[in-house]
Amino acid sequence: MADTVSEIASQCDLFLCVECGKCVAACPMTEIFKDFSYEISPRGMIEKTLMEFDVLTDIGIWFCLTCDVCTEICPAGVRYRDFVEGVRQLALGRASPSTASSVSVVADSFYPGTLWNTSMSSWKTGLSPTNTSLSAPAAGSTISGGR
């Protein structure tokens, strides 16, 4: 496992992003989270990563549904799904026990628990995909306590 966000970003070719926005347009989070924002979009998270924001404590890493649509559509070969899975592992591995517990609660709520399955199932079948009980985080939301 890579030791740093930068290493994971490099392995997943985040630096090749040309900011075309295709991944955001195709991402199912736009339909599943009623107040989806650029902050948690693949492009937004990539931008924050490349600007060296502390994405390990950014709640945005927990909202991706890992469907891999963004990877399939990306013209530059960026593998955002692999990136987000890598940083999740890194965040959990580096968190204090209390923070890891908090993160696990968030992760259990959105990935890959019942809500996740229900939402993805609805999205895939085109049946009323917007789940109004789910909310995206406010801009700049973080989970504190990571290192």
Which residues here bind ligand SF4, judged by CB under 6 A? 17-23, 26-29, 42-43, 46, 64-70, 73-76, 78, 80-81
Smallest distance, Å, CB 96 to ligand SF4?
A: 27
Q: Which is nearer to ligand SF4, 85 or 108 (CB)?
A: 85
Q: What's the token pair of residue 110?
A: 């959105």
Smallest distance, Å, CB 99 to ligand SF4?
A: 23
Count Cα atoms within 13 angstroms, Cβ side, for 29. 30
Contact between 93 and 119 (Cβ < 8 Å): no
Q: Which is nearer to ligand SF4, 9 or 70 (CB)?
A: 70
Bridge partners of 58, per DSSP, are: 142
Smallest distance, Å, CB 127 to ligand SF4?
A: 18
Query: How many helices (DSSP H) and strands (DSSP E) are in the chain?
Result: 8, 0
Smallest distance, Å, CB 118 to ligand SF4?
A: 15
**Amino acid (1-letter code) at residue 75:** P
**Rounded to an integer, what distance in angstroms lies between the CA atom of residue 103 and that of residue 125?**
30
Q: Which is nearer to ligand SF4, 27 or 55 (CB)?
A: 27
